[in-house]
Amino acid sequence: DADVTQTPRNRITKTGKRIMLECSQTKGHDRMYWYRQDPGLGLRLIYYSFDVKDINKGEISDGYSVSRQAQAKFSLSLESAIPNQTALYFCATSDLPGYPGTDTQYFGPGTRLTVL
Amino acid sequence: GENVEQHPSTLSVQEGDSAVIKCTYSDSASNYFPWYKQELGKRPQLIIDIRSNVGEKKDQRIAVTLNKTAKHFSLHITETQPEDSAVYFCAARREYGNKLVFGAGTILRVKS
């Protein structure tokens, strides 16, 4: 879905480096999410935001921080990267839940991060 | 909080056969259950969802069934085709809830 974009698509970094992953969307959705995907562990929620002034921790927020710069932009930062943060990271957006047709989460293409 | 378990972790079927993936959830207040498909190297995409006010929903070759009493729901794919090969994720959420909780995923391989 070209309406949700992520940069970079691939990144290799070293332990201890600070890194930022960026997400932009043109769907006009208020809700944005960051997930981490590891083999056999599914999609785990890191942080989510329901509007520019709203930031919430997900189930695995330790070692990560986020910034919602605008309705359309949601960034994920690793302040000091470590090898076990090597994973595939997805940004997603959604409309208000609870109404048919509005529950769908639209995912970005993903960022593959490797921490050496 | 909600916990979603998904089985099996891998499933191989012959082309034309049916495939069934099952998920169980722990939060009895959950009543929205979507299924996402992720093809190799691609992003997850919603393929079907169900709310607790219905027991079954169909869309062509795919269907989802829900048993609220037992707290489990299943994805059924009939007449499987090679393009059905992918990772499938189930998820659960409370109505008007804040976030989805995903299962660990099932790798489906359709052998031709």
Which of A42, A58, A98 minimises the CB distance to B105? Answer: A42
pLDDT digits (tens, 9 = 90+) for A52-102: 999 999 999 999 999 999 999 999 999 999 999 999 999 999 987 666 666
A108 neighbourhood in chain B, CB within 8 Å: 43
Average pLDDT over residues B10-22: 98
Cβ contacts of residue B73 below 8 Å, gap of 6+? B22, B23, B25, B33, B50, B64, B65, B66, B67, B90
Nearest to B67 by CA among B38, B40, B31: B31
Residue A76 and residue A88: Cα distance in Å, rounded?
A: 13
**Separation in Å, CA of B48 to nearest CA in chain A:** 10
- Contact criterion met (CB < 8 Å) for B99 and A33: yes
Cα B95 to Cα A97, B53, B63, B71: the distances in Å are 8, 11, 21, 15
Cα A88 to Cα A9, A21, A91: the distances in Å are 10, 11, 10
Which residue of B lies nearest to A50 if distances are taken between CA atoms?
A: B98
Would an 8 Å CB–CB cutoff place B74 in contact with chain A? Answer: no
A40 neighbourhood in chain B, CB within 8 Å: 9, 104-105
Confidence band for B95, pLDDT divided at 50, 70 and 90? confident
A107 neighbourhood in chain B, CB within 8 Å: 43-45
**Separation in Å, CA of A105 to nearest CA in chain B:** 7
Range scoring the smallest mean pLDDT among A10-24, A92-106, B45-59, B75-89: A92-106
Average pLDDT over residues B17-43: 95
